[in-house]
Amino acid sequence: MACIEVEAGKRKTCDEDDNDIEKKLCSTNRKVSSTEAPHLTTKRSDYLEWPEYFMAIAFLSAQRSKDPFSQVGACIVNGEKKIVGIGYNGMPIGCSDDELPWQRTAENRLDTKYPYVCHAELNAILNKNAADVKNCTIYVALFPCNECAKLVIQSGIRQVVYMSDKYHDKPEMIASRRLLQMAGVKFDIVAPVHTKDRIGAAISLMDFTLGRSDT
Ligand SMILES: [Zn+2]
């Protein structure tokens, strides 16, 4: 047993053989009076906002990608703030990512990754765990290309939230914006610095929980 419940206002105690993590949880969860530690009686204020949370999940998913040049993740969320699809860029199922090429340039286009790779948005849409993704929002690191814009529109997604638009002037992105605007799909950018800080904080917390922190 990790914790022993006591009456309000008294400290909880841990069994002598509890490990350090259990003791930390025990001391964190114990009831305290407002005079003992008033700052602990209010909720945290530095929690993740929803867009940061979903974008962080997109970035975490991107780390599954085998692409040596570009790792992109996508996270689809419904109107109830529930995640209904996650994806990252990769080769199609059953097609060896050891045999297909990953390079971006070659004399023959068939020796580049482009004819083969599935973008994160496509995988997130097809990986959906709901009947459909109508009226959903897709969080994706990079502004979607024209092919993914078609998928977004046809699947009924109504909003794209992205962090980077570094290919803004490429024809694929110009066509993408044109299609999304014509179809009435909203697209909004999120502030990268804030989200980056949040992801860093989450990793620090993971280090602390796993006992890797120096502090
Ligand atoms: Zn795409």
Per-residue pLDDT at 64: 95
CB 77 within 8 A of CB 84: yes
DSSP tag of 90 = B
Per-residue pLDDT at 35: 56
198: CA distance to ligand 1 center in Å?
26
Per-residue pLDDT at 208: 67
Task: Give me the chain's average pLDDT, please.
Answer: 82
Set 5, 121, 147, 172: catalytic member = 121
- Can you tell me the mean pLDDT for 144-157? 98
Least confident segment among 1-10, 23-32, 42-51: 1-10
Indicate whether 67 pLDDT > 90: yes
Report every protein residue that has its C-beta within 5 angstroms of ion ligand 1. 119, 145, 148
12: CA distance to ligand 1 center in Å?
53
166: CA distance to ligand 1 center in Å?
14
CB 141 within 8 A of CB 72: yes
- The structure tokens 């914006």 sit at 177
131: CA distance to ligand 1 center in Å?
23
Q: What is the pTM of this model?
A: 0.76
88: CA distance to ligand 1 center in Å?
11
Q: How far is the C-alpha of 179 from the C-alpha of 7, rounded, in Å?
A: 62
Indicate whether 115 pLDDT > 50: yes
**What confidence tens digit (pLDDT) does each residue in 158-206 have?**
999 999 899 999 999 999 999 999 999 999 998 766 666 766 766 676 6
Tell me, yes or no, if 49 is annotated catalytic.
no
